[in-house]
Structure 1
Amino acid sequence: MKTKIAVLGAGSWGSILASVLVQNGHEVWLWTRHREQAQELNELHTNQRYMKDYHYPHALHATTNLAQSVHNAALILFTVPTPAIRAVAQQVLTHLKQTKVARPLIVHASKGLEQGTHLRISEILHQTIPADFRSGIVALSGPSHAEEVARQDLTLITAASNQVTAAQQVQQLFMNDYFRVYTNTDLIGVELGAAFKNIIALGAGALHGLGYGDNAKAALMTRGLAEITRLGVALGAKPLTFIGLSGVGDLIVTCTSIHSRNWRAGNQLGQGQPLAAVVANMGMVIEGVKTCQAAYELAQQQQVEMPITEAIYHVLYEKADIKQEIKLLMRREGKAEL
């Protein structure tokens, strides 16, 4: 059945998810703030800044009119960066109040925590869009680079919600021959895994930039997953979620791929570039930088030991020497693995 879906955010991930949904036979409206980008998508069916040389389905509608995109939409998908989620959600609520249409399903495919509040994205959406104006909240997450989904490489991700029927609805809308979706009721674990893995990806990139090999990268990912799980469980997540697609799956792809902005940022840091230059060069949000600060503060509050996250925090925010931080990690007191 054809469903109207609004996708908010026309970066690489948002635009490719919109493309998947159009290919699945849905009416999709892709919202962007930039008039030139909307015009390019509608007339040339390209999005060269984010997805070089990819051609989007002609049936995809791009617009700068947020009200037009969400009007009568059965599902509203947020893919804007985490810092923009609250402001965009407030604009969406204004329209929903004015039109009094049927309650849409609210979905997000962004990864991170809100600065200051440390709220997960679903918590921001829960606060901003009251239950009277939505049918449910779902997080879509997992090992998925937009560049590979665009090539229709096999991709498996997770739809997580406290309401299993909401997750199943998202599953049905997105599934096709190359894009498979599983459901999960551990919304906390899925969102925290998606956010915290970006921190470890910064470290993996830094190791590469410093010239370390596969042994070091495997160790970082394994011990990184251990400390991500410790903090996640302290915050209410289920431990098994972290060995699933949104945990170890997303960690692997983000820590090993040149498509990962966080890996590329870490790689530049490892090569000796200052953080300000790395951020400027990237031209897109590096979620792991802000998430590292949030995770560091949460670990302090929860009294959870996170030595890798602390080391990366020291490099990012206290200008510590990366090589010295690695030496300190290696010289820590010997411990049992489990």
Structure 2
Amino acid sequence: MQDSEVAYLSFDQDQARTLAAASQHLAELGGPQARGVASQARQWAQRLHPTLDASQKAVLQRFADGQLSALMCSQMACPGSDPLPEHLPELATLAQSERCLYLASRNQLLLELVNYRAFAFDIDNEGQIMRLVGNFKGGGSVPRPDEHQHTEVELSSHAGLRLGPHTEAPYNCSVAASEGRSPAPSALILSARWNPAGEPTRIIPLRAIIEQLGSLHALALTSTSFDFTRSECFVAGQGEAGQATSMLQFDPDGGFSLRYNSYRFSLNDHASDAAARAFDAFQVLVRDAQPLAFVLQPDSALLINNCRALHGRDILQDNRRLLVRLFGYSRFARPIVLNDDPLLVRG
């Protein structure tokens, strides 16, 4: 049965050809990190939009309005062959490859179709908009050729460890900048270059969980009763842990927004008993939830509402799995902008 929080969008052959031509053009300009590409992506999205039928436009508008947890896009072309390598190439090599730039450019175009802006944080991913998600640092089910036993592996998308249910950092605010910090991403979009074992990305929509919590527990989650640890993928010396922050926020534009990480969040020492009960109840509901599984391949992309859904994955089984990820801000987000083109914000 289809979840009302999740929608599916497929493109016809003509639309897929336009997407492919646009993505190739943007990639040849240098991809999302190149100056001027964001405006080009917006123009391509405006050209593509009139070719969509009413149902396609309605689905895109629901995501744009923040009313969906996830949107799966399918039936998109990837020109040319892309043989599966014996081992995952080096990160620097992949970042410059035509295929990764193509997928990143297509992701940027899909973000524009839902009126989202691709961006990067200054303290994360070296300020780059495109992030490659793969086992570059170890921790997968099968050790990497260069992996040393007993080496501690960081909990990040550059490793193969299991990542429990979470929203993307930072966790201080969700929609508007606060105390010199930009809000968390409104969304992320993932596409797969290689996924030979068909390993899924798992999504937990949050609306049903919040409704099950009830009004008093939900109210307690809006209190500043929670702590979180610093993300390991932030630039050394930048970013920090947080204390006495809220998890749930209600906003007149985007409805509700929740910030949470199953391995970084804890109860603050000064939290009330009501907040402790709410936190326990929330974690039980997340633990017992049945995640929705999405197997990504080069012809598909998954848009995840970072305010309305948790996402995660199991330990990687095939170290050649490689996803291409972009962050996006909705029209409601108000970050601290450091550079407009490409969009860079203060983390």
Query: TM-score, normalised on structure 1?
Result: 0.28
Query: TM-score, normalised on structure 2?
Result: 0.28
- Which one scores higher on RCO, CA 8 angstroms, separation ≥ 6? 2
By percentage of residues, which structure has more strand?
2
By percentage of residues, which structure has more helix?
1
